Structure 1
Amino acid sequence: MSTTAVFQTISPINNQVWLERPYASDKQIAVALEQATKAQQLWCKLPLNERIAYCQQAMDYCLSQQQAIGRDICWQMGRPLLQAEREVTVMVERASYMLEVAESALAPAQLHAKAGFNNRLVREPLGLVMVIAPWNYPLLTAINSIIPALVAGNGVILKHSSQTPRCAEWLAEAFKQAQLPEGVFQYLHLDHQTTGELLIANEINHVVLTGSVSAGKQVEQQLAGHFKTLGLELGGKDAAYIRPDADLKASVASIIDGAFYNSGQSCCGIERLYIHQDVYNQCLPMIIDAVKQYRLGHPEHQQTTLGPMVRASAASQVQAQIQQAIEQGAEAQLDSQLFINEVFGQPPLRINTANSAYLAPQVLTGVNHQMDVMMEETFGPLLPVMKVSDDQQAITLINDSDYGLTAAIYSQDNETTRNIGNQLAVGTVFLNRCDYLDPALAWTGVKASGKGYCLSAWGYETVTRPKSYHFKEQA
């Protein structure tokens, strides 16, 4: 099944090996499944308030280790240090909300009284949940499913990206410090083949994947005929639209942050922008000026606001998409030389060059929907901008996508925005903000952006099953 081969995590900061870890062996996997199965059967019988307390203590531990965890995130995937530390805070806030609503979300349904019957509708855990987490937000994406799964009474096995293995180890340490019963939460470092084999193991009842569309298709095909439940959060090509009545200064600031934060490597980051023709000429200079304020460099440097991409090959893919668009008539609005500053690299950084993960941000104009830059996921520090004549054209273009995760509208007309939102084929419609998950709302996508949902009180439905008690009682 698996081997004891070793994998390496290459840091994008210096393109050197940051750590090595062995893949889990066949024996380790077998033991993990056996332990998890036994532990879950006892775990689900604990009172709900005890399960909540264990999870809260684990989150408290993570918060106490915020700086160390942040530094690990920084070196594994390149995000500026202060922003990496912030992920710990947001993870704890998100988990705390899910713990807060757990009791009401998992409470038995209140049924109308029926003479002679005592009928109940309850929610039971699925059993073992396997969470496959990505590198771009290694804590947030994982915790979305881990906390509700555990609180609902499931066991969890986490398979994290080989780019961010320390995040799995930190979470395991947090639950250990919280004295979570042994075996309830475990992680396994796995290669792709072994991951696929583990998905269909009899012990696994539910699978959650955050990743690419191709990975989602592969998992769905592997699970076909195995009667397991599945949640997928996949790709995105999220759009923003600035209407003529928008607060332009606030809109541009929000969109630029949504497009370039985390070097554009965000599931719901803004990857295409439509601007109404009446304000296009006002907005474009503001956009260019805002992007010029970024400071690209070593992510541990305090002045750095834009770190490297996750790996050199990812940067090369974005550069290829930019070059292809330019060859098709698009115009680059920024000179990459603006971002080459030795102050932010020790030694001086190589930017926009082969075998370097450091990529200068870019804004493209003159784009259209015949270009990949407007249709295919970029996942990098790039924003293509397109002029539209009216709301209807914006709606048509936003929906002209294989993806449907989020869309952001910038306007001061609430009623018109609701009407626009009703016509958009996305999981979340934002007004005057973007690139944010409110844990009180269900996080979901349509089309190639995935299936299922997490977060909110509804998120507990995906890690439980309904069970009915139809009791005709004797008088």
Structure 2
Amino acid sequence: MSIESTNPATGDVVDSFEETSDEERDEHIVRATETFAEWSETPIEARQRLLARAAEVLRENADEYAELMAEEMGKPIGQARDEVEKCAWVCDYYAETAAEHLQDEVMASTERARTVVAYQPIGPVLAIMPWNFPFWQVFRFAAPNLAAGNVGLLKHASNVPGCARAIEDVFEQAGFPEGAFTSLLIGSSEIGAVIEDDRVRAVTITGSDGAGRSVAETAGSQLKKSVLELGGSDPFVVLEDAPMDETVETAVQARLINNGQSCIAAKRFVVVEDVYDEFVDRFVDEMAAQTVGDPMDDETDIGPQAREDLMEDLHEQVEETVEQGGELELGGEPMDRDGAFYPPTVLTDVPENAPADQEELFGPVATVFRVPDEDAAIEKANDTRFGLGASVWTEDLERGERVARQFESGLAFVNELVKSDPRVPFGGVKDSGYGRELSRHGIREFVNTKTIWVQQDAGEETDMVE
């Protein structure tokens, strides 16, 4: 059976690929298991050198990979080039820091013992990845895990099979052994069988909270470690002393990056009464000024939604919100042109429990809420089942940090949009999942944190025996 990738801007077929058969899937898992035995014993310095080479491969082929992303899921070409560079950055980061992050830790115990904590790889890890950042979200998993000595099995989204194959090829070109990173072109119905396979030791997913619950249930039944990076409905809090020029400019970027299809995009703009009217007026004007068009054009700010059905779902959420009493300030209708294009859209006066209040809107739709003061802003920011990122805008940095500490989120930014960075941990709370990616925290998610106690006086009695 073949899998086709379709250009969402034109409806044309980009390419077709043969689906991985059950027999091939088993062969890939066998190979990954065999490679792990070798790879886990490879000195970490050698693994780091190969990661550095992967960064070079990415940069050498940046235009090719960027065009592939634009064709398969509609990402504006400039943002796609930036994504390739970010993937190279995360490879560089772990090429430089992995050994430091995983070095043995000496722990205090008794005078006559040497006690250390060692961080050892655990085996093949399955990564279930989405289409919206088709390179970055794979590399932020792959770079730390390959550096740690694990091997990766990728189940990528079905609409970006070309990206999946290209990523596999990056590691092959960089010199990684066969089986260190393998793409499985399989359907969602086969994920459970891979997780349940005894040779697969852990699983990570970036996706919807529904998919995360299903994966976590299967992994939990097998007593396997899982990391869930799920959806978000991030608040963007504007206080009365916010630097308005910078705030509005960043608000537009934070809502529309990646055609609005980002889990950490600002989606709920919570604005205090004193500056609400000014913010809405300026925000609507700036949203309206964005260029919607061909993602292959460098002048385009917003390309198509990744699939027609996704655009239809988004529009249904907007329509239902308006029917319940929400006000449409801008946009709100699919564009009259070929392709899955939805315009920048702004909703205000959204009633409680409307879709734009309670659900994640995965597209270029912003919801603006009016609140009386800072306390109400914090309350509204936290009034969501999600808890991925949040930001607050104020001239008073001490105030901003105080507010940031009150957000129920895994990420909190003051006077900056929410973003992922290899140097700091990334992840959420509540229905946004659990576990962390990136930084020292991310590379230690899928390792055996092993206590090694070396008693130097065999005759000494221990204080306590469990």
TM over 0.5: yes
Confirm or deny that 1:71 pairs with 2:55. no
Secondary structure class of the residue paired with 1:367: coil
Residue 88 of structure 1 is matched in structure 2 by 84
Residue 346 of structure 1 is matched in structure 2 by none
Structure 1 segment 113-124 matched on structure 2, within 5 A = 114-124=110-120
Give 1:14's aligned amino acid.
T
Match of 1:159 among 148, 155, 160: 155
Report the CA distance between 1:252 and its aligned residue: 0.8
Report the CA distance between 1:44 and its aligned residue: 1.0
For residues 161 and 419 of structure 2, what CA distance do their matches in structure 1 show? 25
Secondary structure class of the residue paired with 2:138: helix
Q: After superposing the two structures, state which structure 1 stretch, 234-243 or 97-106, moved more.
A: 97-106
Give 2:9's aligned amino acid.
I
Report the CA distance between 1:352 and its aligned residue: 5.3
Confirm or deny that 1:392 pairs with 2:375. yes
Report the CA distance between 1:336 and its aligned residue: 6.7
Residue 451 of structure 1 is matched in structure 2 by 434
> Contact 2:391–2:404 (CA<8 Å) still a contact in 1?
no
For residues 430 and 116 of structure 1, what CA distance do their matches in structure 2 show? 46
Residue 450 of structure 2 is matched in structure 1 by 467
Report the CA distance between 1:281 and its aligned residue: 1.6
Report the CA distance between 1:191 and its aligned residue: 0.5
> Contact 1:368–1:386 (CA<8 Å) still a contact in 2?
no
1:34-85 deviations in Å (ceiling 9; x for gaps)? 1111111111111111000111101210110000000000000001112211
Residue 29 of structure 1 is matched in structure 2 by 25
Residue 219 of structure 2 is matched in structure 1 by 223
Match of 2:393 among 410, 416, 420: 410
Report the CA distance between 1:466 and its aligned residue: 1.1
Secondary structure class of the residue paired with 1:171: helix
For residues 288 and 10 of structure 1, what CA distance do their matches in structure 2 show? 32
Structure 1 segment 197-208 matched on structure 2, within 5 A = 197-208=193-204
For residues 445 and 173 of structure 1, what CA distance do their matches in structure 2 show? 31
Structure 2: give runs of 5+ residues left out of the alignment: 459-466
For residues 362 and 184 of structure 1, what CA distance do their matches in structure 2 show? 43
* Paired positions, count: 458
1:181-208 deviations in Å (ceiling 9; x for gaps)? 1211111101111122111101100101
Q: Which aligned segments of 4 or more residues in structure 1 are displaced greater than 4 angstroms?
A: none
Match of 1:363 among 315, 337, 346: 346
Alignment CA distance shift 1:138-1:335 (3 Å): closer
Confirm or deny that 1:421 pairs with 2:417. no
For residues 189 and 153 of structure 2, what CA distance do their matches in structure 1 show? 17
Report the CA distance between 1:292 and its aligned residue: 1.5
For residues 335 and 167 of structure 1, what CA distance do their matches in structure 2 show? 31
Report the CA distance between 1:310 and its aligned residue: 0.4
For residues 115 and 106 of structure 2, what CA distance do their matches in structure 1 show? 9
TM-score normalised to structure 2 length: 0.95
Structure 1 segment 53-452 matched on structure 2, within 5 A = 53-112=49-108, 114-335=110-331, 351=335, 356-452=339-435
Alignment CA distance shift 1:369-1:352 (3 Å): farther
> Contact 2:7–2:72 (CA<8 Å) still a contact in 1?
yes
> Contact 2:238–2:392 (CA<8 Å) still a contact in 1?
yes
Secondary structure class of the residue paired with 2:454: coil
Alignment CA distance shift 1:113-1:232 (3 Å): closer
Report the CA distance between 1:316 and its aligned residue: 1.2
For residues 9 and 467 of structure 1, what CA distance do their matches in structure 2 show? 44
1:265-303 deviations in Å (ceiling 9; x for gaps)? 011001110111111121111101111111111111232
> Contact 2:328–2:348 (CA<8 Å) still a contact in 1?
yes
Report the CA distance between 1:408 and its aligned residue: 0.7
Secondary structure class of the residue paired with 2:213: helix
Give 1:28's aligned amino acid.
E
Give 1:409's aligned amino acid.
V
Structure 1: give runs of 5+ residues left out of the alignment: 338-349
For residues 171 and 370 of structure 1, what CA distance do their matches in structure 2 show? 41
> Contact 2:55–2:89 (CA<8 Å) still a contact in 1?
no
Report the CA distance between 1:157 and its aligned residue: 0.9
For residues 66 and 58 of structure 1, what CA distance do their matches in structure 2 show? 12
Secondary structure class of the residue paired with 1:259: helix
